[in-house]
């Protein structure tokens, strides 16, 4: 058999989505006792979840900083490229073109 | 004279709770417990719904200081907490390998075979109401990861737009898209394996 074609996939999805909705329609009563348990836990001294609060605030902060960070990186790339910093490709080209010079340079550098 | 029939806004209630009036939190529970219950029922087996719903409100209480009243207001803020609590529940179960693995019988394979052969949309929806459909869905979902399970629930089964699902889960839209693609592929493979098995048995 070949892979499930789109038509068959759609039919399965439709039936499973119906099963999913059916699950959500299950009758579950939440009454006073449930509410009492929640309030009991809260009155019993549930502390603010510092980790959750931190994660929430950190998440918000990170997304706000992302555009600034990207702009900073972009700016630095332009500045370095104009300063004449050699890229790895240029260095590789230099090695290929002048292997002796580089070899001598390395020799003198490591035998100072 | 102050009109006592005017309901305080959600933001006012939140402020009251944060100022130390813990009992005011019950007002938020009155307003939103049905909506949170509907969300939890979609993602969690019936037996665990009450406990998870309890966790949703405890978590909401603990995070109340992060509520800013923006966008869809308290309703959407609480929806996000409800979905993330369900996700955390599955993550914990998968990590501790406590996800119930049901088995598949000939009746489930027959159900799938009938669905694949069915043409009428109404008949397919009706087939989805069968016990075999729910059991097969649970069986297949148990073979996905917690992340895949959530995106399959939200995007594949509920038809929610990726952006909305991303906001609820607190993930990026791209992340949701990639996970949804992988999860769908994996789910199809799982179900395809069943059909193949059925065809071999003939």
The ipTM of this complex is 0.83
Q: Tell if the CB–CB gap between B133 and A22 is shorter than 8 Å.
A: yes
| Chain B CB within 8 Å of residue A96 CB | no
Contacts for A64 with CB less than 8 Å, ≥ 6 apart: none
User: Are B40 and B56 a contacting pair, CB within 8 Å?
Assistant: yes
Q: Tell if the CB–CB gap between B22 and A26 is shorter than 8 Å.
A: no
Q: Tell if the CB–CB gap between B125 and A48 is shorter than 8 Å.
A: no
pLDDT (tens, 9 = 90+) of chain A, 112 residues, equals 446 788 888 899 999 999 998 888 888 888 889 999 999 999 987 765 666 666 666 665 666 677 888 888 988 888 877 776 666 666 676 666 666 666 666 677 667 6
> What is the token pair recorded at B35?
């909506």
HSE toward the beta carbon, residue A90, CA cutoff 13 A: 5
Torsion-angle region of B173 (φ positive above 0: left; ψ -120 to 50: alpha; else: beta): alpha
User: Which residue stretches of A25-87 are H helix?
Assistant: 32-43, 50-82
pLDDT tens string B135-170: 899 899 999 999 999 999 999 999 999 999 999 999
User: Are B41 and A26 a contacting pair, CB within 8 Å?
Assistant: yes
Q: Tell if the CB–CB gap between A53 and B63 is shorter than 8 Å.
A: yes
- The pLDDT value recorded for residue A1 is 41
User: Which residue stretches of B63-172 are H helix?
Assistant: 73-95, 106-117, 121-127, 131-141, 146-151, 162-169
Between CA B174 and CA B197, with CA B94 as vertex, the angle to 5 degrees is 85
Distance from CA of B69 to the nearest CA of A (A): 14
pLDDT tens string B109-127: 888 888 888 888 888 888 8
| C-alpha torsion angle, residues B108, B114, B115, B116 (rounded to 10) | 110
Question: Has residue B178 got a pLDDT over 50?
Answer: yes
Q: Tell if the CB–CB gap between B41 and A26 is shorter than 8 Å.
A: yes
Could you tell me which chain B residue has the CA closest to the CA of A41?
Answer: B58
Could you tell me which chain B residue has the CA closest to the CA of A57?
Answer: B66
Query: Which of residues 12 through 71 in chain B touch A, CB cutoff 8 A?
Result: 22-23, 25-26, 29, 33, 37-38, 41-42, 46, 49-50, 53-54, 57-59, 61-66
């Amino acid at each position: 058999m070949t892979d499930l074609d789109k038509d068959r996939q759609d039919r399965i999805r439709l039936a499973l989505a119906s099963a999913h909705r059916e699950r959500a329609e299950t009758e579950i009563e939440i009454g006073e006792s449930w509410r009492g348990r929640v309030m009991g836990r809260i009155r019993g001294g549930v502390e603010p979840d510092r980790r959750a609060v931190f994660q929430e605030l950190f998440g918000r902060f990170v997304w706000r900083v992302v555009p600034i960070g990207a702009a900073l990186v972009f700016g630095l790339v332009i500045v370095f490229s104009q300063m004449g910093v050699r890229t790895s490709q240029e260095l590789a080209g230099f090695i290929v073109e002048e292997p002796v010079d580089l070899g001598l340079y390395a020799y003198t550098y490591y035998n100072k | 004279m102050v009109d006592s029939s005017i309901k305080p806004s959600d933001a006012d209630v939140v402020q009251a709770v944060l100022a130390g009036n813990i009992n005011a939190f019950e007002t938020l529970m009155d307003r939103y417990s049905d909506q949170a219950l509907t969300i939890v029922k979609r993602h969690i087996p019936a037996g665990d719904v009450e406990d998870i719903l309890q966790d949703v409100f405890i978590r909401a209480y603990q995070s109340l200081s992060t509520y800013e009243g923006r966008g869809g207001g308290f309703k959407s803020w609480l929806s996000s907490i409800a979905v993330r609590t369900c996700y955390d529940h599955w993550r914990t179960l998968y990590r501790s390998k406590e996800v119930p693995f049901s088995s598949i019988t000939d009746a489930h394979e027959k159900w799938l075979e009938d669905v694949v052969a069915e043409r009428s949309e109404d008949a397919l929806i009706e087939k989805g109401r069968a016990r075999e459909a729910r059991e097969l869905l649970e069986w297949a979902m148990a073979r996905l990861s917690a992340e895949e399970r959530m995106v399959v629930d939200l995007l594949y089964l509920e038809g929610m737009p990726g952006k909305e699902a991303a906001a609820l889960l607190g993930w990026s839209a791209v992340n949701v898209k990639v996970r949804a693609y992988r999860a769908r592929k994996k789910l199809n493979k799982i179900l395809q394996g069943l059909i193949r098995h059925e065809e071999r048995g003939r």
